[in-house]
Chains A and B, each alone.
Chain A
Amino acid sequence: DGGITQSPKYLFRKEGQNVTLSCEQNLNHDAMYWYRQDPGQGLRLIYYSQIVNDFQKGDIAEGYSVSREKKESFPLTVTSAQKNPTAFYLCASSIDSLVNYGYTFGSGTRLTVV
């Protein structure tokens, strides 16, 4: 079955530590996205990539970094510069960058600072 796999499902980060969230898709989609969801708020775009080896900042990119070395993979690193990282992180993909078909989302990673 095709889809998006995010791992881990739960992640705990200590103060000052960098952590990396994994996102893998086998849908052959060109575009991939990272969103952050906080209680009572809409999804906010962190980074997106429309093609391999290229990515752009979203609305809240500070304290985060990404890479897109392979079409299937779009990992997100939450750095120590991100002051409030506790949130639910969602990875998504779409067939093309024109969003004609809607996004396919992963099941999310819940990150908690301890």
Chain B
Amino acid sequence: SQKIEQNSEALNIQEGKTATLTCNYTNYSPAYLQWYRQDPGRGPVFLLLIRENEKEKRKERLKVTFDTTLKQSLFHITASQPADSATYLCALEYGNTGKLIFGQGTTLQVKP
């Protein structure tokens, strides 16, 4: 079955540094992969979608890469701020069904 893994340990970084979060998947070749932000007690918020034929995508301070050979996506936040502190989820679609399977998320803590 499809499996998607994110680092379960929290990532703590200093304000102004670049945060890099990892998403690995197995047993599938998704057409696209998505990243979401989730704050405590709230629903996830969609951030970025990257397709299998795109190596990199940027949106303001966010950058996502997608390596279909390594079966891995990296999510970068440059010039991180305390307001970026949240849990970040990656998700991939499977089976051309419109369904998403989500990773368990990585919690990012940016310290001032």
Contact = CB atoms under 8 A, between A and B. Distances in A.
B1 to A, nearest CB: 9
Interface residues of B, number: 25
Contacts of B98: 31, 48, 50, 94, 96-99
A42 B97 contact: no
A94 B43 CA distance: 14
A108 B34 contact: no
Give the interface size bracket for A toward B: 20 to 34
Contacts of A97: 97-98
Contacts of B102: 35, 42-44
Looking at chain B's contact residues, the main secondary structure is strand
Nearest to A90: B43
Contacts, number: 67
Interface in A11-35: 31, 33, 35
B93 interface: yes
Interface in B67-102: 89, 91, 93, 96-102
A42 B105 contact: yes
Nearest to B90: A42
B62 interface: no
